């Protein structure tokens, strides 16, 4: 993960943040809070939480060593290094937090987890404090809950309109296999849920088969069928009972082995069911390659496969502070963008040397952007690709020695727009910086 510097915070007047401590009753909560307000760590804690909430961080990490306390914020999935705290100030802050969370503040080795809340600018944030002694000292994580609008459909998660229509049409066809792919941590389960919710699940019978140990949020009108891997149950254990119920669509949460893939191929080709599953891969073509490497019935697979998605989560440029620049003709040519139609691209805000130093070379305090709080990015979205399997791609899947390159070439010849090219469109639209696109494509 990339690490970038944010500006330090000044320690003058206290921001209007109030804590609600843990406790069985309001009196106990108040007593727990009163016990920490006189602490020299308390004002620093108010600054830390107010600053992290302003910068939209959902996780603060504090690493205590002999000398100091290193602080990092996670914002939109990226780590930002903050100025380190003096060790004694960090100790006071941590003791205060532990007391507010109802934990033993003297304990610095054992793992402890507790909760408190912070109210700031009319919004309430639940904070989960996790402390654990480590070899170098103590590691502390503060998870900050942020109320986000639920991402329920494909539009909200950022899939472009033409792709949404095409994907939903394919999912609504009877028969055919659809695979969803992403790297771990790139929002696969959100896309899965959004896609299934966009289908005609009120008209056809959907079933989701998943391991009880990894079961996710239920989807309305999609019946979950759970098997318990901790009891030695597998997908095969529940399949006979699933088939007795004659579903139209069988969704398998994890496509991890040849038997599962062969089962899907059989259901698709011989029972004319729609089958849907997901797997980890860098992009759609790689997902197909990974499935081929499981050595399934290859002809059956090529016949069954209808479409494959790929995706990456990206940080969107803050529209309040993004900086336009004129791309060079060479850059535009590399990106395959017509110079006449893309006069400017945007990058995230980076102050120039003149903006942050005065005539004497002294640093000037700059007000951070009021929308994003300074990093230049605001919220995340996805880049998506949809590979629709046609006869040319099917033939490439039947190649005796398939490779990602050969498959990608066939896909491109059939007009498939790759994840990279979908990302470049978003760069041209000013939603995404080229740096951010390059960062996520390197994964
Ligand atoms: Zn901004």
The CA 385 to ligand 1 mean position distance, Å, reads 28
> Residue 321 Cα, ligand 1 centroid: separation in angstroms?
4
C-alpha of residue 370 to centroid of ligand 1, in Å: 7
Residue 161, pLDDT above cutoff 90: yes
Instruction: Reply yes or no on whether the pLDDT at 1 is more than 60.
Output: no
Which of the four pLDDT bands, split at 50, 70 and 90, describes residue 357?
confident
pLDDT of 200 > 90? The answer is: no
Given the candidates 3.30.450.90, 1.20.1600.10, 3.30.980.10, 3.40.190.10, the CATH classification of the domain at 3-144 is: 3.30.450.90
Query: pLDDT for 99-130, tens place per residue?
Result: 999 999 999 999 999 999 999 988 889 999 99
Q: From the CA of 268, how far away is ligand 1's center (Å)? A: 48
H helix or E strand, kind and range, residue 85: strand 78-86
Mean pLDDT of the chain: 91
- Of the chain, the end-to-end C-alpha distance in Å amounts to 10
Ligand 1 centre distance from Cα of residue 349 (Å): 7
pLDDT at 443 over 80: yes
The arithmetic mean of pLDDT across residues 410-439, rounded, is 96
pLDDT tens readout for residues 286-304: 999 999 999 999 999 999 9
**In angstroms, what is the span from residue 356 Cα to ligand 1's centroid?**
16
- Report pLDDT for 13: 78
116-120 own/partner pairs: CB under 8 Å, 24+ apart: 116/19, 116/20, 116/21, 116/22, 117/19, 117/20, 118/17, 118/18, 118/19, 118/20, 118/49, 118/53, 118/144, 119/17, 119/18, 119/19, 119/20, 120/15, 120/16, 120/17, 120/18, 120/49, 120/50, 120/53
Ligand 1 centroid from CA 433, angstroms = 13
Burial per residue of 213-236, b for 16 or more beta-carbon CB atoms within 10 angstroms, e otherwise: eeeeeebeebbbbebeeeeeeebe
Q: Are 205 and 225 in contact (CB under 8 A)?
A: no
Q: Ligand 1: distance of its center to the CA of 62 in Å?
A: 25
| pLDDT tens string 386-420 | 999 999 999 999 999 999 999 999 999 999 999 99
How far apart, in whole angstroms, are the C-alpha atoms of residue 61 and residue 54?
A: 16
317 Cα–ligand 1 center, Å: 8
Residue pLDDT, tens place only, 240-261? 888 888 899 999 998 989 999 9
Distance CA 127, CA 171 (A): 40
For residues 118 and 124, give the distance between their C-alpha atoms in angstroms, rounded to a whole number. 6
Distance (Å) from CA 57 to ligand 1 centroid = 14
Q: Percentage of the chain surpassing pLDDT 70?
A: 96
* Ligand 1 centre distance from Cα of residue 331 (Å): 25
Give the mean model confidence (pLDDT) for residues 177-184. Answer: 97
Task: Report the separation in Å between the CA atom of 156 and the middle of ligand 1, taken as the mean of its atom positions.
Answer: 21
Give domain limits for the chain.
Answer: 3-144, 161-315+380-441
Residue 12 has pLDDT above 70, yes or no: no
Phi, psi of 316 (to 5 degrees): -80, 145
* Per-residue pLDDT, 132: 94
Average pLDDT over residues 77-103: 93
Checking if the pLDDT of 421 tops 60, the result is: yes
Distance 348 CA to ligand 1 centre (A): 8
How many Å apart are CA 419 and CA 211, to the nearest integer? 30
320 Cα to the center of ligand 1, angstroms? 5
> How many C-beta atoms lie closer than 10 Å to residue 337's C-beta?
17
Interval 337-361 mean pLDDT:
86
Q: Which fold has domain 161-315+380-441?
A: Rossmann fold (3.40.50)
372 C-alpha to center of ligand 1: Å? Answer: 4
Q: Specify the pTM.
A: 0.78
How many CB atoms within 10 Å of residue 201?
A: 19
Measured in Å, residue 158 CA sits from the centre of ligand 1 at: 20
Q: How far apart are CA 311 and CA 187, in angstroms?
A: 8
pLDDT in tens, 206-222: 999 998 888 876 787 88
Cα of 78 vs centre of ligand 1, distance in Å, is: 16
Of 140-154, 170-184, 343-357, which has the strongest mean pLDDT? 170-184
H helices, E strands: number in the chain: 15, 17
| Ligand 1 centroid to residue 220 C-alpha, Å | 37
For residue 168, name the pLDDT band (cuts at 50, 70, 90): very high
Residue in 89, 88, 97, 55 with CA at minimum distance from that of residue 72: 55
In this structure, of 16-25, 64-73, 147-156, 199-208, the range with the lowest mean pLDDT score is 147-156
- Tell me the CA–centroid distance for residue 48 and ligand 1, in Å: 20
Q: Give the Å distance between the CA of 351 and the centre of ligand 1.
A: 12
Centroid of ligand 1 to alpha carbon of 378 (angstroms): 7
Ligand 1 center to 116 CA (angstroms): 29
Question: Which range among 203-217, 320-334, 379-393, 425-439 shows the weakest confidence by mean pLDDT?
Answer: 203-217
Q: Which strand (E) or helix (H) includes residue 129?
A: strand 123-134
- Ligand 1 center–CA 359 separation, angstroms: 26
């Amino acid at each position: 993960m990339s690490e970038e510097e944010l500006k330090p915070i000044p320690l003058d007047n206290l921001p209007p943040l109030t804590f609600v401590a843990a406790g069985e009753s309001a009196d106990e909560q108040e007593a727990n809070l009163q016990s920490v307000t006189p602490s020299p760590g308390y004002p620093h804690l108010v600054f830390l939480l107010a600053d992290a909430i302003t910068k939209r961080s959902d996780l603060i990490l504090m690493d205590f060593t002999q000398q100091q306390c290193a602080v990092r914020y996670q914002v939109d999935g990226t780590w930002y290094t903050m100025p380190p705290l003096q060790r004694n100030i960090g100790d006071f802050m941590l003791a205060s937090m532990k007391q507010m969370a109802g934990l033993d503040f003297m304990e610095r080795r054992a793992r402890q987890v507790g909760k408190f809340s912070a109210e700031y600018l009319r919004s309430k944030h639940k904070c989960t404090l996790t402390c654990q002694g480590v070899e170098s000292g103590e590691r502390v994580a503060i998870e900050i809950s942020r109320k986000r609008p639920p991402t329920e459909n494909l539009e909200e998660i950022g899939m472009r309109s033409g792709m949404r229509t095409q994907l939903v049409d394919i999912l609504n066809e009877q028969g055919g296999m659809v695979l969803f792919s992403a790297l771990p941590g790139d929002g696969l389960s959100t896309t899965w849920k959004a896609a299934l919710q966009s289908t005609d699940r009120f008209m056809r019978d959907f079933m989701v088969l998943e391991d009880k140990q990894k079961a996710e949020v239920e989807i309305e009108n999609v019946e979950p069928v759970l098997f318990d891997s901790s009891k030695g149950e597998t997908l095969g254990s529940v399949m006979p009972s699933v088939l007795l119920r004659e579903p139209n669509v069988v969704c398998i949460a994890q496509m991890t082995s040849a038997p599962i893939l062969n089962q899907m191929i059989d259901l698709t080709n011989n029972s004319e069911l729609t089958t849907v599953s997901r797997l980890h891969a860098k992009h759609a073509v790689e997902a197909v390659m990974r499935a081929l490497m499981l050595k399934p019935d290859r002809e059956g697979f090529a016949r069954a496969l209808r479409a494959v998605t790929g995706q990456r989560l990206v940080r969107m440029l803050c529209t309040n502070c993004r900086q336009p620049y004129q791309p060079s003709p060479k850059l535009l040519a590399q990106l395959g963008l017509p110079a006449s139609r893309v006069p400017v691209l945007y990058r995230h805000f980076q102050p120039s040397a003149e903006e942050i130093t005065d005539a004497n070379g002294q640093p000037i305090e700059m007000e951070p952007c009021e929308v994003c709080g300074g990093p230049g990015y605001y919220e995340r979205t996805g880049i998506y690709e949809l590979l629709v399997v046609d006869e040319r791609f099917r033939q490439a899947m039947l190649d005796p020695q398939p490779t990602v390159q050969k498959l990608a070439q066939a896909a491109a010849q059939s007009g498939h727009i790759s994840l990279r090219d979908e990302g470049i469109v978003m760069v041209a639209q000013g939603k995404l910086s080229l740096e951010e696109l390059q960062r996520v494509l390197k994964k």
